[in-house]
Amino acid sequence: MPSLQKLPATASTDKIIDIISRDGALILEDVLDASELKQFRQELDPYMEATENGRDKFSGHQTTRTGSLITRSARARDMVMNKTVVDAANAFLAPYCQRIQLHLTQIIRLKPGQGKQMIHRDRWAWGKYMQDNIEPQFNTIWAITDFTEENGATQVVPGSTAWPDDRKAKPEEICQATMSAGSVLLYSGSVFHSGGENKSSSDRIGANLTYTLGWLRQEENQYLSCPPELVREYPTELQDMLGYTMGQYAMGYYTPPELPGKQPECVSPAFAVREVDSAAMGGEDLLDATKQ
């Protein structure tokens, strides 16, 4: 049976990229400690408990999906900016963009009785428009409870990133991302995977935090989930990760809709959340994109 490689929380970017490039996924062990897990639960359980089950088979009729984790949880903000993860996401996506951004934040709770999800690639979110030679996504699922075979640990098909879209995984090609609470599954947007079946009597809870290219549309709309008035107090790096910066030269600017002369025209979205040195859109260094 295939299995996923496990690395320590401090693994080097090179090692992570080597394994993800080959297998499409790996597990980082023990990234969160017990008190950090507790904080996550305290901040987010009220939202999770109030979330209704999914309304279709893919979302899961016995599954809850709870978003906007950035504005709802200081612990989630910290997890999104975890250095090992962000360094790996940057390295993995660097060939396809000048800047990465947050794609979605979602607690996925599989309740007892939830069946297996359809095996899929997350890159299918962009449909047939996503070119094969682009790797658009770097993903994480943080185990908030233990992930076991019995409770529906994520199913992964190691080595499937270059398969044709219509190839069906055989049972012996599929493994499960079993890991203890606090560990993190890292996986490419191109690897075949799915939620497992929860045959246990308790919830399987994971936090899906994913990253994409700075010039693509985000799956969870971060400007609406995290409006400027809430984002102003966050560190600059997190503001940038949410998309409050230019995605490329000219990508993402806006014009504050104030009275004539009150505001500059054509500013970076950073202008909405912090003092920026110049009202200009962004550095001309970003224009290098036109030469690529």
Which residues here bind Fe ion, judged by CB under 5 A? 122
Starting from the edge strand earliest in sequence, which strands make up the sheet with 6-8, in order? 6-8, 25-29, 184-188, 137-143, 204-213, 100-110, 63-66
In the bound state, the residue with its beta carbon closest to Fe ion is 122
Q: For ligand AKG, which is the closer residue by CB, 117 or 145?
A: 117
Please list every residue from 166 through 195 that binds ligand AKG, using CB under 6 A.
193-195
Single out the residue of 68, 70, 85, 122 in contact with ligand AKG (rule: CB under 6 A). 122
Query: Do 217 and 180 touch, CB atoms closer than 8 A?
Result: no
Nearer to ligand AKG, 85 or 267 (CB): 85
Q: Which one of 24, 189, 206, 214 is in contact with ligand AKG (CB under 6 A)?
A: 206
Minimum CB distance to Fe ion, residue 119 (Å): 9
**Least separation, in Å, of the C-beta of 135 and Fe ion?**
15
CB of 188 to ligand AKG, least distance (A): 12
Nearer to ligand AKG, 110 or 231 (CB): 110
Smallest gap from residue 276 Cβ to ligand AKG (A): 36
User: Segment 46-105, which members bind ligand AKG (CB under 6 A)?
Assistant: none
